[in-house]
């Protein structure tokens, strides 16, 4: 095991120990989740994970990648004491709690620019990928060529706004968060959630096989 993998494993084991020490029932009530045996069921994009101190597994018993494991773990461990909900949409850089977190350029690169690069000139492919990821039309009207809303986690929704390229302008992507998302995840995990969205959409846009 290389040094990076060892660090990941150490962090992963630490998260699981903390989860195992938690009383998951009140967290389930705040997050709108269901408990299941010794664990809790956490929907994350198009998967449902059983999470306990013994591990994180989907319905087929497969563990997610490290990034998703971190997001799900932090989501449970940082659960607020009460429900926070907001209909307002904000950009990643506009979260009040991210003033010290200088990762806006990485978010733009790994999320918004990545989606643009994958789907410019491919609106049909973007629509199919969004449908495969459980996307749904947002409430309200937005002046973009394509809009889609996603339930990343219970209490956390993302809004995708996409303008395709034309004769005058290049393609652009904007990903917004519910303003209340900052109460459920730390800035780094919010950034990773956007990157997971981009990665899953790209994967769903590839031909089968």
Domain finish residue from 27, 47, 77: 77
Cα(158)–Cα(91) distance, integer angstroms? 10
Does 6 score more than 80 pLDDT? no
Domain extent for 125? 89-205
Q: CA angle 178-180-183, nearest 5°?
A: 135
Does 169 score more than 60 pLDDT? yes
- Is residue 64 located within the same domain as residue 99? no
Does 207 score more than 70 pLDDT? yes
Residue 83 included in any domain? no
Average pLDDT of the chain to the nearest whole number: 92
Q: CA angle 159-50-64, nearest 5°?
A: 65
Overall domain count for the chain: 2
- Is residue 103 located within the same domain as residue 165? yes
Does 4 score more than 90 pLDDT? no
14, 62, 74, 82, 101 from 160: Cα distances, Å: 33, 28, 23, 27, 22
Confidence of residue 209 (pLDDT cuts 50, 70, 90): low
- Is residue 70 located within the same domain as residue 120? no
The reported pLDDT for the residue numbered 14 is 94
Strands (E), the chain: 34-36, 39-44, 47-52, 55-57, 89-91, 146-153, 156-163, 172-178
DSSP state of 136: B
116, 122, 173 from 202: Cα distances, Å: 10, 12, 14
Residue 84 included in any domain? no
- Is residue 107 located within the same domain as residue 186? yes
- Is residue 192 located within the same domain as residue 120? yes
Compute the average pLDDT of residues 150-179.
96
- Is residue 71 located within the same domain as residue 96? no
- Is residue 9 located within the same domain as residue 107? no
pLDDT in tens, 58-105: 999 999 999 999 999 999 999 999 999 998 999 998 886 544 444 557
- Is residue 192 located within the same domain as residue 103? yes
pTM of the model: 0.92
Does 150 score more than 80 pLDDT? yes
């Amino acid at each position: 095991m290389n040094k990076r993998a060892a660090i990941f494993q150490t962090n992963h084991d630490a998260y699981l120990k903390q989860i195992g020490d938690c009383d998951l029932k009140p967290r389930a009530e705040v997050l709108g989740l269901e408990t299941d045996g010794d664990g809790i069921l956490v929907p994350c994009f198009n998967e449902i994970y059983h999470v306990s101190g013994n591990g994180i597994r989907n319905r087929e018993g497969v563990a997610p990648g490290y990034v998703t494991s971190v997001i799900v773990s932090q989501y449970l461990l940082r659960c607020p004491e009460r429900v926070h909900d907001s209909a307002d949409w904000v950009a990643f850089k506009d979260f009040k709690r991210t003033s010290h977190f200088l990762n806006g350029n990485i978010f733009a690169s790994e999320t918004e620019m990545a989606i643009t690069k994958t789907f410019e000139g491919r609106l049909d492919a973007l629509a199919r990928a969004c449908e495969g990821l459980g996307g749904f039309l947002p409430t309200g009207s937005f002046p973009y060529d394509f809009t889609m809303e996603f339930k990343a986690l219970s209490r956390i929704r993302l809004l995708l706004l996409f303008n395709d390229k034309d004769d005058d302008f290049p393609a652009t992507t904007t990903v917004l968060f519910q303003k209340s998302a900052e109460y459920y995840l730390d800035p780094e995990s919010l950034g990773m959630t956007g990157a997971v969205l981009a990665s899953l959409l790209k994967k769903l846009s590839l031909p089968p096989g």
